[in-house]
Structure formats: structure tokens, C-alpha cells
Amino acid sequence: MIIDANQAASHGTDEFAYLAGQVDALNSRSGRSSVAVPVVERVTVDTATGSISALRFGTDTPAVVLLHGAGLNAHTWDTTVLALDLPALSIDLPGHGDSDWRSDADYSPAHMGPAVADAIAAFTDTPITLVGHSLGGMTAAWIAAHRPELVSTLLLVDITPGIDGGPGPAQLRAFYEKAEFPSRDAVVDWAQSFGMGGDRADTERGVFFNTRVREDGSVVWKHHFAELARHVLPGAARTEGTPALRLDTGWDDLAAVTAPITLVRGASGYINDAALAAFRERVPAAAIIAIDSGHNPQETNAAELADIVREVAA
């Protein structure tokens, strides 16, 4: 593993220390020993709207690029990438993880898309399978529509433009009503009360990467989105001067995508029947695959999601 010393210091420990345990868990569940810890490094590229940070797995040019959802970060894909066993690039969206916050505080797909596309272009030299979860999925759709030379296949994870009025935004607004905690254990309890993060060990790992500890010992979210979610998500009572999170380009973006599209729907995720019906009608050529998970299958059913990604990439 290659570790950037400054990055390791910002996390307070080796940020890749969890990978060996994740590999052991994957091999234990499968009854095999086929998964190994790959070479992984944190990489950064400067763009016109700030630096983009990412995790590069493997020594070959990435075949798969993964974009996480709102309020998450590149490490949400760790277990999926380990099970995938392909060279991959997992990107911190602007305002998340170790990527710069946007000065305009606008994290709509059309605003993030250009910088993320530039990051993909910097680390790849052939069209890739682009995987996007939730907000990352709508950003991936924008990239596939506007930078088609970068994308050979588009895979959306539990997101369609039609979930704007579904349970997802309301749940996220409620989740981010609480912005400060006495400890990381309290954050884990809060996340699990919303059904996020898989088992407790998985949730603890996610909380470690997504929070920071202040000098007084209190714990706050690391990403910019936590400060904005209550005001920018669909249905929110917006604060003056705070840009809305606009997802309204999604259908137009999907209509413009020329690459094959696959939608992975969590059986208990955010895509309700009405949103799924709208997707079938408006993107009739797309393949749709159901998976036993909630909104975050990359954390709760990573091995099966990896199988789907591998098949789509092939």
C-alpha cells in the first residue's frame, strides 16, 4: 500500500488499516481465500473549482470509477472494490472526504460534473465503467451525457431522477438535523437508528472516515453537505443564499447517454414503484437489477454488488 503521509495524518491513523479486516470478512463469508489486499494509494488532481481526491486500487489503469452518494466518501466503496478485484478509482465528490469544498456551496450534479470528469480523465486513458450511487449516480449520468468519451458503461445504484419526492430526501434531512455528537460511538448509534452502514463494525469504519474530532472532544461531520442538507435537499425550507440541490437535469442527461445503462435497485432502498415505473418508461433500454439491500448496497451487500459491477464491466 502507498500512503500519503499528510493524508494519513489528517485521518489520525493509517486510512487503509481496515482493508485487511474487510478482506478477511469477505473470504470468510465466501468460504474461499481469493480476495487479497491490493496496492492502494490516495491521489489528488487540481481542477478549476478545487482539488479532487480519490483512492486508486491496483497498479493498472482503472477499469471502473465509482462515485459515492451525498454525505459519504470514497471509502464507502472499499469492500465492493475488494470483492470486485479490478483496477478501480473511487472518487471523493467535491465537498466530501478529502476533496475541496465548493466556494459556491452548490453540489448539484451539473455543477460537480465538470470537475469530477476532469479527475476521471486525469487517471484513465480508456473509457471506463462509471458507477454512481445516489447523488453520485446523477453526477455520473451528467458525465456520461456530457463527456461520453470517458464512459463505456453507466451503472446507477439506487437512484433515479424520480426519487425527488420519495422517502430518501426526507430521511436525509432528518438524519442531518443532528450535526454534533459527544463521541464517535454516539454517531454510530445515530447512523444505525436510521438503518445506515450495515453491521456495527462497518458503521464504525464509515463514521471514522466521515467525521472529525474537535479540540473539545465533540464530533462533527467532515463533509460540507452536513451543513447544507437541511436546506438544500428537495422539499427543504431553504435558507436565503443557500443554493438548492438541483436534480432536475437527470432525465435529460439519461436521455443523452449513448453508453449502455444499468440500474441496481435496493429492494428496500429509495426507489419506490412510481419512480421505477417512470425510469422504465423514460429509459426503456436500461437493464434493471434488484439487490437485497437498502439504499447503500455497497455497504450492506458489497459482494453481490461487486458481482454485478464486474459483469457489467465485462
Q: One of 68, 75, 96, 295 is an active-site residue; which one?
A: 295
User: Is 21 domain-assigned?
Assistant: yes
Give the pLDDT confidence of 83-109 residue by residue, as tens digits. 999 999 999 999 999 999 998 888 889
Q: Please give the model's pTM, rounded to 2 decimal places.
A: 0.87
**pLDDT of 303 above 70:** yes
Give the pLDDT confidence of 260-292 residue by residue, as tens digits. 999 999 999 989 999 999 999 999 999 999 999
Pairing, β 40-47 against β 128-133:
unpaired
Are 99 and 160 in contact by the 8 Å Cβ rule? The answer is no
CA distance 115 to 121: 10
Percentage of the residues of the chain whose pLDDT score is greater than 70: 87
Q: What is the pLDDT of residue 164?
A: 59
> Does 134 participate in catalysis according to the annotation?
yes
Phi/psi zone of residue 244: left (φ > 0), alpha (ψ -120 to 50 degrees), beta?
beta
Q: What are phi and psi of 53, to 5 degrees?
A: -105, 150
User: Is 110 domain-assigned?
Assistant: yes
Q: What is the pLDDT of residue 103?
A: 86
CA distance 298 to 55: 16
Are 15 and 3 in contact by the 8 Å Cβ rule? The answer is yes
The total of structural domains in the chain comes to 1
**pLDDT of 188 above 70:** yes
**pLDDT of 165 above 70:** no
User: Is 157 domain-assigned?
Assistant: yes
User: Is 74 domain-assigned?
Assistant: yes
> Does 158 participate in catalysis according to the annotation?
yes
Q: What is the pLDDT of residue 47?
A: 95
Q: What is the pLDDT of residue 245?
A: 67
User: Is 185 domain-assigned?
Assistant: no
**pLDDT of 1 above 50:** no
Give the pLDDT confidence of 239-267 residue by residue, as tens digits. 555 666 677 789 999 999 999 999 999 99
129-168 burial, b at 16+ Cβ within 10 Å, e below that, comes to: bbbbbbbbbbbbbbbbbbbeebbbbbbbbbbbbbbbebeb
Of the candidates 171, 227, 161, 217, the one whose C-alpha atom is nearest the C-alpha of residue 195 is 171
Q: One of 53, 90, 99, 134 is an active-site residue; which one?
A: 134
Percentage of the residues of the chain whose pLDDT score is greater than 90: 60
User: Is 82 domain-assigned?
Assistant: yes
Segments forming the whole domain that contains residue 113: 5-164+248-313
Could you tell me which residues are beta bridge partners of residue 154?
130, 261
Q: One of 158, 202, 253, 293 is an active-site residue; which one?
A: 158
Q: What is the pLDDT of residue 6?
A: 35
Residue 295 sits in a domain of what CATH number?
Answer: 3.40.50.1820
User: Is 58 domain-assigned?
Assistant: yes
CA distance 33 to 53: 31
Residues 6+ apart with CB under 8 A from 125: 61
Are 243 and 104 in contact by the 8 Å Cβ rule? The answer is yes
pLDDT tier for residue 7 given thresholds of 50, 70 and 90: very low
User: Is 176 domain-assigned?
Assistant: no
Angle value at C-alpha 252, between 249 and 257, nearest 5 degrees = 120
Amino acid identity of residue 202, one-letter, is D
